[in-house]
């Protein structure tokens, strides 16, 4: 599956595909001028053995949780629980104190189970953001692991506050020039990018308000099971196939790898031309008095 995931990631990150454009929301930290747009991973749940179930006798288990937004975007793995060892007739795990999220778009939690130091594998999904307990009575049969990557590839457009207005973008140096010294507190009006998932806000938020934005997400990984499929449209199937063939020729050092790569690149380029919108660029003209670098003063 490694080759297929490599190709899916390459396809998904080489273009701003509309089907990967999703809405994000983040509760801002009051008093901070720098803010992360990433959903914070959950803390550790509590675990204990109880009577019943069919877990493996004397195996060592741990549990962790992830948050899931309504768009399907999943947080990074949360903190693992302490270890627990079912034995005798106590072959199930009672999971309690399951974290809930204050982020407005989180609608589900996923529960992952680790056995004897192996990978954490999906055990169950809690279809709400309120339940704080569940029971694990059997080893996981899933191959799905929690994400270990940042889902935000690039922000699309301006940030905005649902209850008031759109924020205006300014370069970091320009914000520091316009508002020198420590930023004042209030309702943010301007923003700068500090990378794909971090922003600088002026004024810095005076309360835990909700910031909204759109972004292009990273494709989800797939696993070797019938219920794990690429989250790409069907018309990209020939591109995926060509990409996997190209990877096979490359990693096995076969003759003809250049032609296979060229075929993949050509199919991907054709997909861009047929189905990819040109990048949206906001055009605006503002009348300002600027300095030597063109920044307003």
Q: From 217, 234, 258, give the residue that closes a domain.
A: 217
3-state secondary structure the chain: CHHHHHHHHHHHHCCCCHHHEEEEEEECCCCCCEEECCCCCCCCCEEEEECECCCCCCCCEEEEEEEEECCCCECCCCCCCCCECCECCECEEEEECCCCCCCCCEEEEEEEEEECCCCCEEEEEECCCCCCCEEECCCCCCCCCCCCCCCEEEEEEEEECCCCCECEECCHHHHHHHCCCCCCEECCCEEEECCCCEEEEECEECCCCEEEEEEEECCCCCCCCCCCCCCCCHHHHHHHHHHHHHHHHHHCCCCCHHHHHHHHHHHHHHHHHHHCCCCCCCCCCCCCCECCCCCEC
Q: What is the pTM of this model?
A: 0.88
Residues 54, 130 within the same domain: yes
Residues 186, 162 within the same domain: yes
Range of the domain at 233: 2-12+222-275
Residue 131 included in any domain: yes
Structurally, the chain folds into a number of domains equal to 3
Residues 51, 131 within the same domain: yes
pLDDT, tens digit (0-9, with 9 covering 90-100), for 181-227: 999 999 999 999 998 899 999 999 999 999 999 999 999 999 988 77
Residue 31 included in any domain: yes
Cα dist from 97 to 68, 77, 255, whole Å: 17, 16, 56
Residue 108 included in any domain: yes
Task: Give me the percent of the chain exceeding a pLDDT of 90.
Answer: 80
Task: Give me the percent of the chain exceeding a pLDDT of 70.
Answer: 93
Residues 211, 85 within the same domain: no
Give whichever of 75-89, 238-252, 254-268 has the largest mean pLDDT: 75-89
Strand partners, 185: 204
Residue 280 included in any domain: no
Ramachandran assignment for 186, one of left (phi > 0), alpha (psi -120 to 50 degrees), beta (any other) = left
Does the pLDDT at position 287 exceed 60? no
pLDDT score recorded for residue 281: 42
Residue 283 included in any domain: no
Does the pLDDT at position 292 exceed 70? no
Residues 108, 248 within the same domain: no
Categorize the per-residue pLDDT at 291 as very low, low, confident or very high, splitting at 50, 70 and 90: low
pLDDT score recorded for residue 250: 86
pLDDT score recorded for residue 220: 93
Residues 129, 183 within the same domain: no
Residue 295 included in any domain: no
pLDDT, tens digit (0-9, with 9 covering 90-100), for 128-181: 999 999 999 999 999 999 998 899 999 999 999 997 889 999 999 999 999 999
Comparing CA positions, the residue from 277, 236, 289, 294 lying closest to residue 15 is 277
Residues 213, 229 within the same domain: no
Q: From 136, 166, 193, give the residue that closes a domain.
A: 136
Residues 50, 129 within the same domain: yes
Does the pLDDT at position 90 exceed 60? yes
pLDDT score recorded for residue 282: 47
Residue 117 included in any domain: yes
What is the average pLDDT across 269-285?
67
pLDDT score recorded for residue 257: 87
Residues 59, 105 within the same domain: yes
Residues 172, 30 within the same domain: yes
Residues 165, 32 within the same domain: yes
Residues 205, 159 within the same domain: yes
Q: From 82, 102, 136, give the residue that closes a domain.
A: 136
Does the pLDDT at position 74 exceed 60? yes
pLDDT score recorded for residue 283: 45
258, two tokens = 């250049």
Residue 67 included in any domain: yes
Least confident segment among 70-74, 82-86, 276-280:
276-280
Q: Is the peptide bond before 15 cis (omega within 30 degrees of 0)?
A: no
């Amino acid at each position: 599956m490694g080759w297929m995931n490599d190709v899916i990631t390459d396809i998904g990150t080489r273009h701003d595909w509309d089907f990967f454009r999703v809405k994000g929301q983040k509760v801002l930290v009051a008093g901070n001028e720098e803010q992360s747009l990433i959903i914070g991973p959950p803390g550790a749940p509590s675990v204990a053995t109880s009577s019943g179930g069919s877990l493996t006798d004397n195996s060592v288990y741990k549990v962790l949780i992830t948050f899931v937004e309504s768009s399907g975007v999943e947080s990074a793995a949360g903190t693992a629980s302490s270890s627990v060892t079912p034995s005798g007739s106590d072959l199930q795990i009672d999971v309690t104190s399951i974290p809930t999220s204050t982020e407005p778009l989180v609608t589900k939690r996923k529960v992952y189970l680790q056995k004897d130091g192996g990978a954490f594998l999906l055990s169950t999904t809690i279809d709400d953001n309120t339940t704080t307990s569940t029971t694990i009575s059997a080893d996981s049969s899933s191959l799905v692991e929690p994400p270990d990557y940042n889902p935000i590839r690039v922000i699309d457009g301006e940030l905005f506050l649902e209850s008031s207005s759109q924020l205006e973008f300014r370069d970091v140096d320009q914000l520091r020039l316009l508002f020198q010294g420590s930023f004042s507190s209030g309702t943010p009006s301007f923003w700068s990018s500090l990378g794909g998932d971090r922003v600088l806000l002026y004024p810095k938020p005076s309360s835990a308000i909700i910031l909204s934005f759109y972004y292009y997400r990273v494709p989800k990984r797939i696993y070797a099971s019938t219920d794990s499929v690429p989250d790409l449209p069907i018309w990209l199937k020939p591109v995926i196939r060509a990409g996997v063939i190209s990877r096979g020729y490359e990693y096995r050092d076969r003759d003809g790898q250049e032609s296979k790569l060229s075929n993949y690149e050509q199919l991907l380029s054709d997909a861009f031309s047929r189905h990819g919108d040109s990048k949206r660029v906001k055009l605006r003209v503002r009348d300002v008095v600027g300095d030597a670098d063109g920044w307003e003063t």
